[in-house]
Amino acid sequence: MAVIGYARVSTHEQNEARQLAEFEKRKTDRIFLDKCSGKDANRPQLKKMLEYVREGDTVIVTEYSRLARSTSDLLSIVEQLTEKGVRLMSVKENLDTSTPQGKLMLTVFAGLAEFERAVILERQREGIAIAKAQGKYKGRKPIPFDAERFRSECAKWRRGEQTAVDTMKKMGMKPNRFYRWVREMGV
């Protein structure tokens, strides 16, 4: 029966030391650490952790928002762990997910984590709008575009001399940008 720690920070600049210190106190046998957003459950170390755990193991997180920001993702992860006979423990919330009361509280905390993420995104949008109004935020720099070359390469594509994919590669474009320009330029 192993004690497994799962930590997550949203960016490479953020520090996971607080989470790791909690795991050290609890003498975890192994730690999985993701440095990416919790907006979805498609995270490499989370997947490895879910594959690694066995019946009787305990997974520790410092708080449920480290495991998932979406209520449905959190409940899905908890369900996967439960099906494998793995106990989940959160240091901050201190819940037992094996009881009906614990499951109810887990759902409440998951909803709060999802709400917190939505508020963060809203604040970010508001901050960008204010910075734009003050002339401090210009957005990302436009990608250079050579209209003449684009028309020439598209003509080759339309004549069947090259595929659309080849044309995109030559122009250094992704499909959404490529087809948008095809529509806008009428080529």
Instruction: Report, as residue numbers or ranges, the catalytic residues.
Output: 10
Decide: helix, strand or coil at residue 182: helix
Cα torsion 48, 65, 22, 79 to 10°: value is: -50
- The DSSP result for 69-91, as a single string, is SSHHHHHHHHHHHHHTT-EEEET
How does strand 30-35 pair with strand 3-9? parallel
